[in-house]
Chains A and B, each alone.
Chain A
Amino acid sequence: AQSVAQPEDQVNVAEGNPLTVKCTYSVSGNPYLFWYVQYPNRGLQFLLKYITGDNLVKGSYGFEAEFNKSQTSFHLKKPSALVSDSALYFCAVRAPTDSWGKFQFGAGTQVVVTP
């Protein structure tokens, strides 16, 4: 069975500082990994995904994520956070063998960026 964990309920960071949101996963085989962001009273917006290849994936709004197979992690990063990055972030995983299967979402991490 696949699972994903986001160990931090909330991350606080000052505007202009680096932002990291952690995600670890458990899945058989090589995973497909996704990051989504949710603003208040909105649906989830896709940020980026890792399928194969380069371990550093670049996505929307200046976000990037690094896939680390040995640590089974897929942390989301942004070099310089903005107040507008304050939102709820979800990591999701799908096993490549789980064709047309559901995504497994993490519990979410609330990011608060202070001016």
Chain B
Amino acid sequence: KAGVTQTPRYLIKTRGQQVTLSCSPISGHRSVSWYQQTPGQGLQFLFEYFSETQRNKGNFPGRFSGRQFSNSRSEMNVSTLELGDSALYLCASSLNNEGQETQYFGPGTRLLVL
């Protein structure tokens, strides 16, 4: 079974631009979570989608948004990019994201904002 895939793997943008990142979960998984990883803040939860609905949201500004499609693929969008948005963005999938289920992570998208 194929793992979680993320595209693109690397991205360079300038301040003020917007960016869209894509995540394809493991086949059969309906939950997709997004995380931002930076050296200073570690892993921070962005949001989680299940059956095309956002179920959980972390403490990020409204510039960060996402969506999930009927095939469980998810996209994350960041508008009006700031230098501080430079990070590794990770997505993780699980069946239903309940209790003892494991979250499986993709390789991440490394975003550099200049």
Whether chains A and B associate is: yes
- On A, residues with C-beta under 8 Å from B are 32, 34, 36, 41-46, 49, 51, 90, 94, 96, 99-103, 105-108
Give A32 to B94 CA distance when docked, in angstroms: 15
Does B33 contact A102, Cβ atoms closer than 8 Å? yes
Please indicate the chain B residues that have their CB under 8 angstroms from the CB of A51 in the complex.
Answer: 100
Does A42 contact B108, Cβ atoms closer than 8 Å? yes
Give A32 to B103 CA distance when docked, in angstroms: 12
Least Cβ–Cβ distance between A58 and chain B, in angstroms: 15
Give A45 to B42 CA distance when docked, in angstroms: 16
Main secondary structure of the interface of B (DSSP, over half): strand
Main secondary structure of the interface of A (DSSP, over half): loop
Does A100 contact B98, Cβ atoms closer than 8 Å? yes
Query: B43 within 8 Å of A by Cβ?
Result: yes
- On B, residues with C-beta under 8 Å from A are 4, 6, 31, 33, 42-43, 45, 48, 50, 55-56, 58, 90, 92, 96-100, 102-108, 110
User: Given A43-B107, A44-B90, A105-B42, is A99 in contact with B102 using a C-beta cutoff of 8 Å?
Assistant: no
Does A45 contact B100, Cβ atoms closer than 8 Å? no
Does A43 contact B108, Cβ atoms closer than 8 Å? yes
Please indicate the chain A residues that have their CB under 8 angstroms from the CB of B6 in the complex.
Answer: 43
Give A51 to B97 CA distance when docked, in angstroms: 14
Please indicate the chain A residues that have their CB under 8 angstroms from the CB of B33 in the complex.
Answer: 102-103
Please indicate the chain A residues that have their CB under 8 angstroms from the CB of B106 in the complex.
Answer: 43
Please indicate the chain A residues that have their CB under 8 angstroms from the CB of B108 in the complex.
Answer: 41-43
21 contacts between A and B (CB under 8 A): A32-B100, A41-B108, A42-B108, A43-B6, A43-B106, A43-B107, A43-B108, A46-B103, A46-B104, A46-B105, A49-B100, A49-B102, A99-B98, A100-B48, A100-B50, A100-B55, A100-B98, A102-B33, A102-B48, A107-B42, A108-B42
Give A51 to B98 CA distance when docked, in angstroms: 12
CB-contact partner of B56 in A42, A45, A100, A106, under 8 A: A100
